[in-house]
Amino acid sequence: MSTFASQFLQDAGRATDNSDQRRFIRTALGNYEIARDRHKGSFQDWQGARQLAAGIKWEAVNHLDKYLEQFVLKLESRGTKVHWASTGLQARETILQIVRKKKAHSIIKSKAMTSEEIHLNDALEKEGLQVVESDLGEFIVQLRHETPYHIVFPCMHLRRGEISALFQRELGSAPTNDPEELTMIARRVLRKKYITADVGITGANFAIADAGMVSITENEGNARLTAALPKTLITLIGIEKILPRLEDLALFLPMLATMGAGQQLTCYNTLYAGPRQPGESDGPEEWHVVLLDNHRTQLLADTEQRDALHCIRCGACLNVCPIFRNVGGHAYGTTYSGPIGSVITPHLRGLQDWKHLSNASSLCGACTETCPVKIDLHHHLLQNRRNAAQEKPAFLERFAYQIFSLLVTKPALWSLAKKMGRAMQPLHKIIQGTPLDPAKSWTQSRELPRLAPESFKDWWRKRR
Amino acid sequence: MTVTLFIPCFVDALFPQAGISMVQILERLGHKIVCPEAIACCGQPAFNSGYWDESRVVAVKVLEQLRDAETVVIGSGSCGAMLKNFYPGLFADTPHEKLAKAVSERTWEFSEFLVDKLGVTDLGARFPHKVTFHDGCHGLRELHIKKPPRALLSHVQGLELLEMTEAETCCGFGGTFAAKFPMISAAMGEVKCASAIETGAEYIVSNDSSCLMQIQGLLSRQGNALKTIHLAEVLNQE
Ligand code: SF4
């Protein structure tokens, strides 16, 4: 078992023991579901919309070279500097070089899962820079020295009281249970940062090829300030974020809002076309766009799972996933949690180390059913399992399946196995729960069903 | 018609009554039932764990037994999904590909067969109890079976169907998942049980015995009196 796998088992165990927390998360996601369904209803034909969105992303991903080129040409024509980064390390280096050149001291950042993916904050802080997250949720998890719990709701695991205590401890604020006051406390800290920061860093929701624009969606207006106030802006984008045409946003913006947060439309949707142009009154003087590969092209080369690049990071699959609902985002130990994380993490970080996430699923398919861009999520989990077993079979497990295959294909053996099972059954009661119990992992929380005195096959044979 | 009944391994060994009920119901409707002796399992455990070669050893046997079957009926959404949805992929680019596709097309889950193929919803059953229905994930999301079991239940005399809020939520079984990740599996099952208990039903009905095994296992451990029963058994009560 990889160390990541044993860590997962430990953390998942701890999370499932915490029934209070599980209930809290379930209630929050239940409310999300109600809002989501209400807004899904404003699409005339939701299934048609999904089909269309999947088709558009298919087109983008399968012609990624063409659309990226178009995107970059357009961006550069307005004076944006575009950088390509094959790896996380390259992306970090590129960004560090930019901030070094600017002799920057402080950085204001809006939410970007790509930056979590490449551990950007750590790298910047090691360089002696001060980095502040401007998204309220991200700001809170940053103060707690934690990673985001959920790709859309970074601090959904925290209750108001915990946030208030955190602010008292870290910011010296007065205790309060009022959400607005809590927001104001963060805002007062952040306002200063926007003005004094030398560099702003953002992520992106979509990169529009034909327009050469970056689309950012947010609810707090913090990304706008992050992009508008510092003189230098850096935007880190995963190369799969491409959409072919500006008009595609008409579908993708409401879709992302609906599936992401259960909103009709997110509060702020901004398009960025380039640095400040002559005659313009705001915007950064310099804009750098860093295009991140970091194993995405490897996923692109996998014809079976390429559609995982369609992902718009709405988080809907996490929200409906019964595994996520019970173990929470931190147990995954990855940047991308939930079903999409279990699918892509083995690609991004190594199959053998991360195959356990694909195994930790009942394959219920709720994720696939909900995904707005129709990624075949739960079947990809099956494919990961197959690839992992093919690449490096576990000796005992394979042996067990070989025995099982033999048993169920030879009627005489199968019948014997049932007889033996029946004979052994009374003995099981004695060893149940002890280390000798072969069914321990089942019986620790559930009763074992009893073998029927007469199996179906016995009955059928007798009857004929 | 001649119906070839596929009895999954766990129904055979643990829940024969579900299989017996299916035989009796289909015979009452005038069909001839065949149960190939050599079929004991669909190969799903190995398949789901990634051991496709080992799974194929079992599945080839199944395909050969079903080669000449006119209609195959399975009393489990999960095994039904295996035959219908996963066999073609499992046998892609192998000599059995064509046969796998042919068998897939002839295979029906039990409730779907009764309602969609035979057009039967009223079996004259009587079960004077409050029940709630659990949608097994494979039946629901792989085979898209939602209405047939409810149509059948709605014609059972004396039966009152109380839908639970978490009807479509996974019970946490998931085959080997339940043994590999028992704490997650049990946590999921608890949600299911709590939702079922909330309805005030006396029975949880499902068309998948494997889900019921998980649910019953948890309920018994909790000491709850709520019982589980396969749809076919309900439909076979007089
Ligand atoms: S996989 Fe689908 S549902 Fe999950 S985050 Fe991506 S787009 Fe959303």
Residue among A130, A230, A136, A240 at smallest CA distance from A188: A136
pLDDT of residue A429: 84
Residue whose CA is closest, atom 6 of ligand 1? Answer: A311
Å from CA of B2 to ligand 1 middle: 45
The mean pLDDT of B144-151, rounded to a whole number, is: 98
Query: Residue B189: is its pLDDT beyond 90?
Result: yes
Please state the separation of Cα B166 from the chain's center in Å: 18
Q: Are A249 and A215 in contact (CB under 8 A)?
A: yes
DSSP symbols for B40-84 = ---SHHHHHHT-HHHHHHHHHHHHHHHTT-SEEEES-HHHHHIII
pLDDT in tens, B33-59: 999 988 999 999 999 999 999 999 999
pLDDT of residue A463: 85
> Which residues of chain B have a CB within 8 Å of the CB of A321?
none
Residue B164: which residues within 8 A CB-CB, separation 6 or more?
A: B132, B133, B134, B195, B196, B198, B199, B201
pLDDT of residue A1: 80
> Which residues of chain B have a CB within 8 Å of the CB of A441?
178-180, 182
> Which residues of chain A have a CB within 8 Å of the CB of B49?
359, 385, 389, 397, 401
Categorize the per-residue pLDDT at A282 as very low, low, confident or very high, splitting at 50, 70 and 90.
confident
Residue B73, sorted as left (phi over 0), alpha (psi -120 to 50) or beta, turns out to be beta
Query: Residue B159: is its pLDDT beyond 80?
Result: yes
Number of Cβ atoms within 10 Å of the Cβ of A3: 9
The mean pLDDT of A255-272, rounded to a whole number, is: 96
Tell me if residue B157 falls in helix, strand or coil. Answer: strand
pLDDT in tens, A50-60: 999 999 999 99
Number of Cβ atoms within 10 Å of the Cβ of B185: 30
Share of chain A above pLDDT 90, in %: 95
pLDDT of residue A130: 96
Q: Which alpha helices (H) appear in chain B, and where do they start and end?
A: 9-13, 16-28, 44-49, 52-66, 77-81, 87-90, 97-106, 110-112, 137, 147-154, 177-180, 182-198, 209-222, 231-235
Query: Residue A163: is its pLDDT beyond 80?
Result: yes
Q: Given B11, B13, B169, which is nearest A418 (Cβ)?
A: B13
CA angle B105, B111, B117 (to 5 degrees): 50
Q: Given B13, B58, B181, which is nearest A360 (Cβ)?
A: B181
Residue A129: which residues within 8 A CB-CB, separation 6 or more?
A: A99, A104, A105, A106, A107
Chain A closest-CA separation from residue B233 CA (Å): 14
Residue B228: which residues within 8 A CB-CB, separation 6 or more?
A: B203, B204, B205, B206, B212, B215, B216, B219
* Average pLDDT across chain A, whole number: 96
Query: Residue B30: is its pLDDT beyond 90?
Result: yes
Q: Are A34 and A353 in contact (CB under 8 A)?
A: no
Which residue from A243, A259, A309, A340 has its CB within 8 A of the most atoms of ligand 1, so it is best to mutate?
Answer: A340
Mutate to test the interface with B, among A7, A20, A364 (most CBs of B within 10 A): A364
Categorize the per-residue pLDDT at A2 as very low, low, confident or very high, splitting at 50, 70 and 90.
confident
CA–CA distance, B78 with A275 (Å, rounded to integer)? 56
pLDDT in tens, B76-124: 999 999 999 999 999 999 999 999 999 999 999 999 999 999 999 999 9
DSSP symbols for A268-336 = EEEEE-SSPPTT--SS-SEEEEEEE-TTHHHHHH-TTTGGGGG-----HHHHH-HHHHHHHHHHT-SSS
pLDDT of residue B231: 98
Please state the separation of Cα A391 from the chain's center in Å: 26
pLDDT of residue A432: 87
Chain B closest-CA separation from residue A306 CA (Å): 17
Q: Quick check: CB of A314 below 6 Å from ligand 1?
A: yes
pLDDT in tens, A265-275: 999 999 999 99
DSSP symbols for A120-140 = HHHHHHHTT-EEEE-SHHHHH
pLDDT in tens, B63-81: 999 999 999 999 999 999 9
Please tell me whether the overall predicted TM-score, pTM, comes out greater than 0.90 for this model: yes
Categorize the per-residue pLDDT at A175 as very low, low, confident or very high, splitting at 50, 70 and 90.
very high
Mutate to test the interface with B, among A37, A342, A354, A363 (most CBs of B within 10 A): A363
pLDDT of residue A433: 82
Query: Residue A128: is its pLDDT beyond 80?
Result: yes
CA–CA distance, A24 with A106 (Å, rounded to integer)? 36
The mean pLDDT of A366-377, rounded to a whole number, is: 98
Question: Which residue from A minimizes the CA distance to B194?
Answer: A23
CA–CA distance, A38 with A30 (Å, rounded to integer)? 13
pLDDT in tens, A200-249: 999 999 999 999 999 999 999 999 999 999 999 999 999 999 999 999 99
